[in-house]
A and B are shown apart, each in its own frame.
Chain A
């Protein structure tokens, strides 16, 4: 059974700092991995999608990496801003178009 874990559960950093959020999964037979952002009480906004054949994806200040063999993904946020404050969720796709298995999220707070 696939399990997804995110560490840390919460993180507080000063504005401008570079940071890394971690995601690990127990079964390396994944189809893809997706990072989402969730603001309090809101839905999920997709940030980056990495296919199982890819090693990383970049969008603006965000970079996500994937290492299937070790069961790990990281989300790197450069030059953090207060507007980046939110919960970040990673989710593993078990097959094409199939269900997503989520971690519990990392709650990020960026202080001005």
Chain B
């Protein structure tokens, strides 16, 4: 049974560019959440998608947006990249309770 799959694993972008990260949830999971983890810090909640709608959002600017598809997979989009957006981006899927995390996408903004 495949767990949560994220792509790409690593990404380097230039300030001002836009980036899209992808996540396929664990089989049977219908909810996808995204987290940002800066080096040496705990993950910070970005937003959560359920039934293709944003259900909950953390304290992140509108430059961060997302989407969930009918097959429950999800995308995280970040516009106008800043150096401070460099982080590990984690996707987590769940069904009711208990989370399964992917291995993350390491984004470096130069």
Q: Which residue numbers of A lie inside 8 Å of B, CB to CB?
A: 4, 31-32, 34, 36, 41-46, 49, 51, 89, 91, 93, 96-105
Contacts and interface: CB of A to CB of B under 8 A. Distances in A.
A32 B97 contact: yes
B56 interface: yes
B108 interface: no
B96 A96 contact: yes
B31 interface: yes
Contacts of B4: 43
Contacts of B35: 100, 102
A51 B35 CA distance: 22
B73 interface: no
Chain A binding surface, main DSSP class: strand
Contacts of A41: 88, 106
Interface in B22-39: 31, 33, 35
Interface residues of B, number: 29
B42 A102 contact: yes
A45 B92 CA distance: 11
Question: Which of A36, A96, A97 has the most B CB atoms < 10 Å from its CB?
Answer: A97
Nearest to A31: B97
Contacts of B96: 96-97
8 contacts: A34-B98, A43-B6, A43-B101, A97-B96, A101-B45, A102-B42, A103-B42, A104-B41
Interface string B32-70: 010100001111110010100000101000000000000
Contact of A102 (B40, B43, B88, B98): B43
A99 B97 contact: no
Contacts of A42: 103-104
Contacts of B45: 99-101
Question: Which of B42, B56, B58, B94 has the most A CB atoms < 10 Å from its CB?
Answer: B42
